[in-house]
């Protein structure tokens, strides 16, 4: 792990200006940001589709007592793109995430994921519970399940779209402002778009170029069925906190179905809803309420661990 820079300004025990980190894993450079004391509760934060580690820069300084490490997932932000023969299915990052956790020296950690990052975190927690002590998801849990009868059609669409993307030129913007204005068209505020822009685009002689791998726009070749999602949810053996935006994914019927399935399948599940839109963790008022829910959840975990240790002794 390489620490490129660090700032000394503190905010409630956390660095307001994050450390810039990167790791080399499987020949890929993975970049990230970190807040909080090195000996704080380890929390690995995973952003959503086409976002980056800056997705957590409003929320992270409020999570006192935590060491928040937020990654740019492969193909996003300052991290490397996957090789030409690779894909970006939601489980493809998991081997590299486990190796980053290993390089951080964390026997176990809390997973914090937003949207697509929540889906990745849920799969990781289900498959490798020995590396995870708790799971926290923000406006996401699993993607919409797919009917088995759509399996071939889904793969066909993915293959065709991926072939088209490979022939397309990189997306360019005349200025940083141009990118910010275009990103706002997808339902985020100017402040959120500007925060994401720092790691989302780079300046070249021909203007600003989008850093994200264009293949991220391709439909997944394989999507999970309702049965597979249920199996994964039932496999979760760690405490789970899921926080939803009032104007976010719960507006979609399929996510309500996934939540209902989660409530029936997960043994230790706490759910909350916070006023805000899909990127609510980047909205100051919503982020403050999200932080309160997370800190209360963590306090409950710590209390339970202390009581268990007392009973055992």
Query: What amino acid positions are annotated as catalytic residues?
Result: 115
> What is the C-alpha to C-alpha distance for residues 109 and 121, in angstroms, rounded to an integer?
11
Distance separating alpha carbons of residues 277 and 246, to the nearest angstrom = 7
- CA distance linking residue 133 with residue 240, whole number of Å: 9
CA-CA distances (angstroms) from residue 253 to 140, 239, 245, 250, 302? 13, 25, 14, 7, 35
Q: What is the distance between the alpha carbons of residues 280 and 291, in angstroms, rounded to a whole number? A: 11
Question: Please, are residues 295 and 36 in contact by the beta-carbon 8 Å criterion?
Answer: no
Side-by-side strand order, sheet with 207-210: 172-173, 207-210, 201-204
Please check whether residue 140 is in contact with residue 240, taking contact to mean a CB–CB distance below 8 angstroms.
no
**Measured CA distances, 283 to 29, 60, 190, 195, 240 (Å):** 29, 12, 11, 11, 23
In DSSP notation, 145-172 reads P--GGGHHHHHHHHHHHHHHHHTSPPPE
DSSP-assigned letters across all residues of 238-259: S-EEEEEETTTGGGSHHHHHHH
């Amino acid at each position: 792990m390489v620490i490129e820079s660090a700032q000394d300004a503190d905010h409630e025990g956390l660095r307001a200006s994050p450390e810039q980190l990167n790791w080399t894993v499987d020949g890929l450079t993975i970049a990230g940001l970190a807040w909080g004391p090195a000996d704080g509760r380890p929390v690995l934060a995973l952003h959503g589709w086409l976002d980056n580690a800056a997705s957590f820069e409003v929320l992270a300084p409020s999570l006192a007592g935590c060491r928040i490490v937020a990654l740019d997932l492969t193909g996003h932000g300052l991290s490397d793109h996957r090789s030409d023969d690779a894909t970006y299915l939601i489980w493809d990052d998991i081997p590299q995430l486990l190796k980053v956790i290993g390089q951080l020296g964390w026997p176990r950690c809390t997973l914090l994921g937003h949207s697509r990052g929540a889906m990745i975190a849920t799969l990781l927690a289900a498959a490798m519970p020995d590396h995870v002590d708790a799971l926290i998801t923000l406006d996401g849990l699993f993607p919409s399940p797919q009917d088995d009868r759509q399996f071939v059609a889904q793969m066909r669409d993915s293959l065709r779209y991926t072939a088209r993307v490979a022939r397309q030129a990189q997306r360019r913007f005349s200025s940083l402002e141009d990118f910010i204005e275009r990103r706002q068209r997808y339902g985020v505020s100017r402040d959120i778009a500007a925060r994401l822009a720092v790691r989302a685009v780079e300046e070249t002689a021909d203007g600003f170029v989008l850093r994200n791998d264009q293949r991220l726009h391709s439909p997944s070749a394989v999507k999970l069925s309702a049965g597979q999602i249920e199996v994964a949810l039932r496999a979760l053996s760690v405490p789970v906190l899921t926080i939803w935006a009032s104007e976010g994914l719960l507006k979609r019927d399929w996510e309500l179905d996934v939540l209902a399935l989660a409530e029936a399948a997960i043994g230790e599940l706490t759910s909350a809803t916070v006023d805000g839109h899909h990127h609510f963790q980047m909205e100051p008022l919503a982020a403050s309420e999200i932080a309160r829910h997370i800190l209360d959840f963590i306090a409950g975990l710590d209390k339970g661990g202390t009581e268990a240790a007392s009973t055992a002794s």
